Amino acid sequence: MRIKSDLKVPLAKDSNGIFICPKDAVKGDQYFCPGCNDEVIFNKGKIKQPYFSHKVSDNCSNETIIHKTAKGKIVQIVTDYCNNNADSPLIVRACPDCSKITEETLSTTITSAEEEKKLNSGYIADVVIKEHDDIELAVEIKVTHAVDKTKETNIGVPFLELSGASIVEFGMRWIPLLDRLGKFECQHCEDSINKHMDLITQIADATDVTLPGAFFRTSYLVCWKCRKYILVFSWPHELYIDKEIEKIKPRTIQTTYSKAAGHKYKGNICPFCDSLQGDFYLYNEPDGPFFEFNCGDNNPESFQEDMKSLAIIADRPYRRMII
């Protein structure tokens, strides 16, 4: 009696080492398991969908089949792309700032891909994608075991961790389980920043309030009392506003008494009606301009990052005014 194997072969290799899915296989041709290189049987009938069957084996496993198939499939995809025989795979990435999803392609300078490459760090990468002799990125394949924290920290090259099953099924669409390719700026963020800067510049001109360009982070709102558009500012409150900072302090930042707080504090005043724009609303209400915003350090890099964050916050759908 024939013992049925529980080994699944979603893609097999033909005699030239090319991955073939069952629907494209041809009866009578030879096909081989990517995991152990044993010959597999192509089955095609009138009722069942075409499939490959694997003989019972002690030298192969479903994990090995998926892992080796995914690695080989990536190399095949990149090779076809480099030879202008196919489009680039799409790398699905989430913007670290706004969380919007974008799709990136491989660089046009990519020249090859290679399996099981030893890196300068000593780690073996499942796949490396190269520009001539330089490794541009590595790909790690997860079947059951994820990249551990030590390897993630010390691998030494930009890398993606991809699901082996996902690569086998979808191939051209890479959805990272772990994205360590480095930070990128998505088009949505760039559009939000440009919109924000244009708007605060217009409001600054209309209110005769000078944009400070440092220390004081700038956003905007509609004054709760006179209903006019005004600028509001956030800054590292733990730092003393010295004489140099005082020179660039906007005229609408004043020390005033707040009935809600029950004491005086340095806050944002409307340039039209002199009403205090309370810190509670600015920082704690979901439609406030500084909701979930934490002001960074007093340096140019933090200032630019904070201005980007405020632009993204201003573009959220629940801000109370629509420009």
DSSP 71-92: HHHHHHHHHHHHTTSSPPPEEE
> Which tokens hold the place of 263?
């004491």
Per-residue pLDDT tens for 269-296?
A: 999 999 999 999 999 999 999 999 999 9
Q: How far apart are CA 134 and CA 171, in angstroms?
A: 24
Per-residue pLDDT tens for 83-97?
A: 999 999 999 999 888
- Write down the pLDDT at residue 6: 81
Give start-end residues of each CATH 3.90.1570 domain in the chain.
Answer: 65-180
Per-residue pLDDT tens for 62-80?
A: 999 999 999 999 999 999 9
**CATH of 65-180 among 1.10.357, 3.40.50, 1.20.1050, 3.90.1570:** 3.90.1570
- Write down the pLDDT at residue 50: 92
Per-residue pLDDT band for 140 (boundaries 50, 70, 90) equals very high
> Which tokens hold the place of 229?
């558009």
Q: What percent of the chain has pLDDT over 70?
A: 97
- Write down the pLDDT at residue 188: 87
pTM: 0.74
Site of tokens 């006019």: 228
Q: How far apart are CA 225 and CA 208, in angstroms?
A: 19
- Write down the pLDDT at residue 237: 77
Site of tokens 């140019």: 300
Per-residue pLDDT tens for 307-321?
A: 999 999 998 876 644
